[in-house]
Amino acid sequence: MIERLAELNRVLLAATAIAQPGQSITQASVLRQCESTVIESMMPDHRLSINFAGTVGLVATKADRIEVTEMGKEFLALNPEHTYDLTADQKRMLIRNQYLSGINRLGTLQVLKCFTKEYDAQTFRWSESDSQPMLGDRLLIEHLIQLGVLQRRESFLEVNTEYVDAVATLLTDGKGWTPKDIEEYYREKREIGDIAEELMFAYEKERVRRAGGKVECLCINHVSKLRPDVGYDMESFNGQNPGMVHDRFIEVKGARGVHTRFFMSDNEIKVAKKLKDRYWIYFVGGIEKRMRTAKNKPLLFQNPAESILNNPKYKKTPQGVLVEEIV
């Protein structure tokens, strides 16, 4: 394996720079081309990089000849600016084809089997102090971090929220976890979400009543069960509304943990941008499952398309926004 996956771009760019269409070239010529490109004062073992590019199917080697494969051309096309660093699309292609599937699937599974369910954060986590010893190749772990599948925290590693479902599927299919384990994980997520919605429906009813909406508080719609793709959970009122037109649309987020941490999906972001000040996120943390209560008071975010998306302290991902309190 190689230290930096970005070296795949160096190999492919070097090969395509000197190759004629449809022709193979010598490995020696590719090595010379790679050596002529110094990036960040780095000069890795380019033979190792070429071999790894062949292992993942981006180039084909025979004797001393090398040729960029169709997969390699598709991979390079995802880097239209011909940069050294991997693009987001290149990372996703490697994740799907080579790490969740393909040549590195079993190695990835071996690493992830050491992770435990983290219900509060709704992800999988490994801690050097609390988890079983990490299995798997050190470089493969580093690759998963470079690709964004794993995130390195102060004292632990965790699966990036956007890849939780894909990792859960891998663990189920690969027998790293049993289907019962995965179902338990998602059942927990659903149960916490249901409790959060139940608590926030009662909260919202009382809030509207106190705002003078004597009738309005009786007309709040809990729409998430009937219309799960609408982008919010409740249709409510800011207060009194003579026309009885819903003017507050609420997406509920909940967690067992006491710190603010939730994920906004693409659909929620789209609806939030459309509804602007009429769209709210209610987050309630510290949920107690057995008592169906919460330690924390709810946090209310109005117009999250502005208050969250334009706030640099919140983490952004290709599939949405991970909102996380800085502590």
Band of pLDDT at residue 106, cut at 50, 70 and 90: confident
Where in the chain does DSSP place strands (E)? 25-26, 59-62, 65-68, 116-118, 123-127, 150-152, 156-159, 221-222, 234-236, 248-254, 261-265, 279-284, 287-288, 293-294, 299-302, 315-317, 320-324
Indicate the helix (H) or strand (E) that contains 37: none
How much is the mean pLDDT over the chain?
85
User: For residue 300, what pLDDT band results from cuts at 50, 70 and 90?
Assistant: very high
CATH number of 7-84: 1.10.10.10
Residue 293 pairs in a beta bridge with 288
Tell me what the mean pLDDT of segment 254-263 comes to: 82
**151-173 pLDDT tens trace:** 988 788 999 888 888 888 888 77
- Residues present in the chain in total: 327
CATH class, domain 183-324, is alpha beta
Token duo for residue 63: 């004797």
Amino acid at the residue 211: A
- For the chain, residues classed under CATH 3.40.1350 are 183-324
* DSSP structural state of residue 97: I
Cut 0.85: pTM above it: no
Q: Which pLDDT score, from 0 to 100, does residue 41 have?
A: 62
Q: Residue 235: which pLDDT band, with cuts at 50, 70 and 90?
A: very high
Pinpoint the residues of the chain covered by CATH 1.10.10.10.
Answer: 7-84
The region of weakest confidence among 120-134, 139-153, 197-211 is 120-134
Per-range mean pLDDT, top range of 156-160, 172-176, 270-274: 270-274
